[in-house]
Amino acid sequence: MHEKLLETRRQWYAAYIDGNVGQLDHIELDDFVLIDETGLEGKLDQLGGIAEAVAADRWFARGSHAEDIILRLVPLGDAVSIHGQGRIVDDAGIRPSLYFSELWQKENGEWRVLSLHFTHAATPSG
């Protein structure tokens, strides 16, 4: 039922990890916001930060990819809330996982992302 949404989401995460700000710009709505432990960031600041990190060779290593551990979709009419737990996997191994919440909206027949909120998952104490 949501195959197109999940494919667009996969492309969005691939573009993020690749540092492809053009593709991110296409998939993210103009009002896109990123919320994390440091606060709230608008789309232009987010894309600018990614472009700077890529140019300085401080971005993800080639071959990195996103992996969902838990994924839940909640349909909300022309929007879908996606939440769960995920992580980035690269040649160095698996990074700590994140809890995330995304809001996707269908606009002109295409799925576009409106917001991403994530926080680092607590690591078990030993």
pLDDT tens digits, one per residue of 57-109: 999 988 899 999 999 999 998 899 999 999 999 887 778 899 999 999 999 99
Q: Are strands 65-76 and 28-36 parallel, antiparallel or unpaired?
A: unpaired
pLDDT computed for residue 94 by the predictor: 72
Residue 1's pLDDT band, with cuts at 50, 70 and 90, is low
pLDDT computed for residue 93 by the predictor: 73
Confirm if 89 and 67 have CB atoms less than 8 A apart.
Answer: yes
Cross-strand pairs, 33: 42, 115
Confirm if 103 and 113 have CB atoms less than 8 A apart.
Answer: yes
pLDDT computed for residue 91 by the predictor: 80
pLDDT computed for residue 126 by the predictor: 42
Class of domain 3-120: alpha beta
In this prediction, what percent of the chain has a pLDDT beyond 70?
96
